[in-house]
Amino acid sequence: MRVGLLTGGGDCPGLNAVIGAAVRKGINHYGDEFVGFIEGWRGVLENTTVPLTLESVDGIITKGGTILRTSRTNVRKIEGGLEKCAANIKANKLDALIAIGGDDTQSVTNALIQAGVPGVGVPKTIDNDLNGTDVCFGFDTAVSIATEAIDRLHTTAEAHNRVIVCEVMGRDAGWIALTAGVAGNAHVVLVPEKPIDLDHVCKLLKYNHDHGKKYGIVVVAEGAKLPSGGQATVGGKVDSFGHAQLSGVAAALAEAIEKKTGYETRSVNLGHTQRGGTPTAYDRMLATRYGLAAIDLVHKGDFGRLVVLHGTKIESIPIAEAISKNRTVDESFLAILDGLEPKV
């Protein structure tokens, strides 16, 4: 078979592991040929391709980013975009397309499938918010990077008797904040799923202060709603899928905390460091399993499906189900924060 591959949306540690695994199994076990589209859907739209061979994927499992590069191109917003993509897929004589991406990328995969393109999806996002899978690759790496950063913030905050507010990614889901915040022993963890109660935050920091720790670490998800209402965004900028560019909640919160408590407060935004660099062993393994499962789906002719992790098993679900809603932090996980908090 001739199989196309692309990586779309924000990059994510583990993308190369998916590509490598699909190409290796495809060539070695099925005798496939692979065509990589450059920069996600933009490559399909503009027909910019690169052959993917055993040589070109050799050793890429260790690398962050994506050898195919990526973009947030939304072909559905471009007149005739979907039709052009379908035509280019046909022109490349592809029997199948594997799209590696989050909900935005998969919404385009789904639209193309409805237009007759034989496609399968692989879930990718450091935010871990794709519906229908227990874990997306990239999340573990992002959490490890954030946890290490939070560990480092403890010592500098303690040395200066300061509060430090640390902003992490995650868009409208608090998975990174919750996991890295708990693992990094933050004194306060704030997620988009629960409105920020500034009085309560300050009481927790004061409790800490009165019980021997003259410093405080607050971890806040970029999408958490400000006490004044709404999310902190960069001048109202939105991407081609309509998502606001989130940034600034930590700075706003730091100012409010300092004003209310009198504690010297700083903020730090970990930003894209969470997406960069080499993937953890867990993400390399999960991404490899996804890549192998995706090429198997192609050969079973099981199109329109997304490979997912359920418990320890790799399974698949309809792409339409995965993009129907976001997976946010539920009550059982919020209870972890509640369980760790002192009564103030």
Applying CB under 6 A, does 162 fall inside the site for ligand F6P?
Answer: no
Instruction: Name the residue whose CB lies closest to ligand F6P.
Output: 169
Catalytic: which of 127, 129, 140, 283?
A: 127
Q: How many whole angstroms separate alpha carbon 225 and alpha carbon 82?
A: 35
Nearest distance, CB of residue 174 and ligand F6P, angstroms: 11
Q: Which residue has the tokens 């499906």?
A: 305
Size of the site for ligand F6P (CB under 6 A): 11
Nearest distance, CB of residue 234 and ligand F6P, angstroms: 9
Q: How many whole angstroms separate alpha carbon 286 and alpha carbon 123?
A: 11
Among 27, 82, 126, 150, binds ligand F6P (CB under 6 A): 126
Are 174 and 191 a contacting pair, CB within 8 Å? yes
Spell out, one character per residue from 208 to 237, where the chain touches ligand F6P: x when CB under 6 A holds, - when not.
--------------x---------------
Applying CB under 6 A, does 138 fall inside the site for ligand F6P?
Answer: no
Applying CB under 6 A, does 127 fall inside the site for ligand F6P?
Answer: yes
Among 4, 10, 36, 132, binds ligand F6P (CB under 6 A): 10
Supply the DSSP string of 226-280, one letter for each residue.
Answer: PTTSS--EEEEEE-TTS-EEE--HHHHHHHHHHHHH---EEEEE-GGGGT-SPPP
Nearest distance, CB of residue 168 and ligand F6P, angstroms: 8
Q: How many whole angstroms separate alpha carbon 72 and alpha carbon 39?
A: 8
Nearest distance, CB of residue 102 and ligand F6P, angstroms: 6
Q: Is 205 left (phi over 0), alpha (psi -120 to 50) or beta?
A: alpha
C-alpha distances (whole Å) from 314 to each of 121, 286, 296 are 13, 9, 11
Among 24, 154, 171, 289, binds ligand F6P (CB under 6 A): 171
Applying CB under 6 A, does 141 fall inside the site for ligand F6P?
Answer: no
Question: How many CB atoms are closer than 10 A to CB 113?
Answer: 22
Spell out, one character per residue from 279 to 308, where the chain touches ligand F6P: x when CB under 6 A holds, - when not.
------------------------------
Among 118, 170, 192, 291, binds ligand F6P (CB under 6 A): 170
Among 24, 275, 284, 305, binds ligand F6P (CB under 6 A): 275
Nearest distance, CB of residue 270 and ligand F6P, angstroms: 11
What secondary structure letter does DSSP report for 224? P
Q: How many whole angstroms separate alpha carbon 70 and alpha carbon 36?
A: 11
Are 299 and 1 a contacting pair, CB within 8 Å? yes
Is 11 among the catalytic positions? no
Map residue 59 onto helix, strand or coil.
coil
**What number of CA atoms fall less than 13 Å from residue 113's CA on the CB side?**
22
With the C-alpha atoms ordered 24, 26, 32, 34, is the resulting torsion angle positive or negative?
Answer: negative
Among 100, 221, 246, 294, binds ligand F6P (CB under 6 A): 246
Q: What is the arrangement of strands in the sheet containing 216-221, beginning at the earlier edge strand?
A: 188-190, 216-221, 163-168, 265-269
- Pick the piece of the chain touching ligand F6P (CB under 6 A) from 166-174, 209-217, 295-303, 306-314: 166-174
Tell which positions 106-125 bind ligand F6P, by CB under 6 A: 125
Applying CB under 6 A, does 169 fall inside the site for ligand F6P?
Answer: yes
Nearest distance, CB of residue 222 and ligand F6P, angstroms: 6
- CA triplet 70, 63, 42: central angle to 5 degrees? 10
- CA triplet 308, 338, 220: central angle to 5 degrees? 70
Please give the positions annotated as active site: 127
Residues that bind ligand F6P (CB under 6 A): 10, 125-127, 169-171, 222, 239, 246, 275
